[in-house]
């Protein structure tokens, strides 16, 4: 790879904003650390990357991403312990997925080792911004946008790759009520559902808003063709415990291959649970809820790790699930993952990058 790409220009902020942060009241995604990383793609190659003070961008109104949405992102976290050690969790998986998204959206890829080095360097520069408190972390947002000043539909010839970070508090989610969606669709076979591409999220807002008006905080998406099979829960993957078996829809081109879900399944297998990654029908979930076999249901994703679901709505009926305090698997796996990400348990799966 071009050697230029590894020569980071670093311009440090003159005066850190860190003392203006209300650390006891950190809203998710609204507080930004001092620095950001920027790398432009021009003339068929990545140009010299730099780390600079976090600042606004200046773009022509004709910038192609603003019109046609050629944009992708990743979401990951860094953790810090009391000994000032910093941990990244399965960052290689984010690097790989970022490039898979890039290919689907006709965008250039970033070599995986470079992607990880960038993250390590940026996080290290702002390591004081990672709250060393139980459950707290630094959210990391790598993304890429198409920057051609051209109002025509074609893959852009120029791009901007950036990373910025946000200190975030413990993300406690109240158990949510969800509605099984059988009209609207998040992703269809052949579409972009497996990519973290901006348009997927824009398209999901309206159906989610309708569900919220009916009292459901989130949707369970079903397949676009028959609306018979469960895909995801909002912008998280979904995991069920039916009897003693941990079940999740198999990833496909309509289901985002989530790292949290993958880790939960690996841990479940390691703990001796029966696990199944396959098509999961709405019918079977409703039947399991009716006969008391549905022990646990939760969303899995980086922001919340585990988001318990307390009620599932389907065809005019609410199915209530066991109290979260009675759920063995999700409580155990959440606790273990939290400890794992903070380096407090043996890294038996080789998931941690420490620096």
Ligand X SMILES: *Cc1c(COP(=O)(O)O)cnc(C)c1O
Of 211, 259, 285, 288, the one binding ligand X (CB under 6 A) is 259
- Name the β-bridge partners of 106: none
- Please name which of 96, 98, 94, 71 lies closest in space to residue 159, comparing C-alpha atoms: 71
Tell me if 301 contacts ligand X by CB under 6 A: yes
Q: Which is nearer to ligand X, 51 or 267 (CB)?
A: 267
How far apart are CB 122 and ligand X at their closest, in Å? 19
Task: Assess contact for 123 and 217: CB atoms under 8 A.
Answer: no
C-alpha torsion sign, points 98, 103, 104, 107? positive
- Name the β-bridge partners of 26: none
Between helix 259-270 and helix 91-104 the angle, nearest 10°, is 140
Interface with ligand X in residues 37-76 (CB under 6 A): 75
For 106, phi then psi, to 5°, come to 60, 35
Interface with ligand X in residues 219-248 (CB under 6 A): 232, 235-237
Of 64, 70, 302, 330, the one binding ligand X (CB under 6 A) is 302
> Taking contact as CB under 6 A, which single stretch among the options 11-19, 29-37, 240-248, 253-261 is the one that binds ligand X?
253-261
Of 222, 260, 275, 338, the one binding ligand X (CB under 6 A) is 260
How far apart are CB 239 and ligand X at their closest, in Å? 11
**Can you tell me which residue has the tokens 């600079």?**
52
How far apart are CB 259 and ligand X at their closest, in Å? 3
101-135 b/e (C-beta count within 10 Å ≥ 16 → b)? bbebbebbbbebebbbbbbbbbbebbbebbbbeee
How far apart are CB 34 and ligand X at their closest, in Å? 25
Interface with ligand X in residues 169-228 (CB under 6 A): 196
Q: Which is nearer to ligand X, 46 or 229 (CB)?
A: 229
Residues near ligand X, by CB under 6 A: 75, 196, 232, 235-237, 256, 258-261, 300-302
């Amino acid at each position: 790879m071009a050697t230029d790409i590894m020569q980071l220009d670093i311009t440090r902020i003159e005066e850190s904003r860190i003392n203006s942060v209300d650390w006891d009241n950190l809203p998710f995604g609204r507080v930004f650390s001092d620095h950001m990383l920027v790398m432009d793609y021009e003339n068929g190659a990545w140009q010299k990357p730099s780390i600079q003070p976090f600042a606004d961008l200046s773009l022509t109104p004709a910038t192609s991403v603003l019109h046609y949405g050629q944009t992708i992102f990743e979401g990951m976290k860094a953790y810090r312990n009391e000994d000032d050690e910093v941990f990244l969790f399965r960052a290689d998986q984010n690097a790989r997925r970022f490039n898979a998204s890039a290919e689907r959206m006709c965008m250039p890829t970033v070599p995986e080792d470079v992607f990880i080095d960038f993250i390590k360097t940026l996080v290290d520069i702002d390591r004081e911004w990672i709250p060393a408190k139980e459950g707290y972390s630094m959210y990391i947002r790598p993304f890429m946008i198409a920057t051609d000043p051209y109002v025509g539909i074609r893959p852009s010839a120029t791009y901007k790759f950036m990373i910025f970070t946000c200190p975030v508090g413990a993300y406690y989610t109240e158990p949510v009520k969800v509605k099984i969606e059988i009209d609207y669709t998040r992703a269809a076979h052949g579409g972009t559902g497996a990519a973290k591409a901006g348009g997927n999220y824009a398209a999901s807002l309206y159906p989610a808003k309708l569900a919220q008006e009916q009292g459901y905080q989130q949707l369970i998406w079903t397949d676009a063709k028959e609306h018979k099979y469960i895909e995801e829960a909002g912008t998280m993957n979904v995991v069920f415990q039916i009897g003693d078996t941990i079940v999740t829809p198999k990833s496909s081109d309509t289901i985002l291959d989530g790292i949290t879900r993958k880790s939960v399944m690996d841990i479940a297998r390691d703990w001796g649970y029966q696990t199944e990654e396959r098509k999961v029908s709405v019918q079977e979930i409703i039947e399991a809820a009716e006969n008391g076999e549905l022990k646990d249901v939760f969303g899995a994703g980086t922001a919340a790790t585990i988001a318990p679901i307390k009620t599932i709505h389907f065809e005019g009926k609410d199915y209530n699930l066991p109290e979260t305090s009675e759920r063995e698997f999700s409580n155990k796996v959440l606790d273990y993952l939290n400890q794992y990400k903070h380096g407090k348990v043996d890294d038996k799966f080789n998931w941690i990058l420490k620096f």
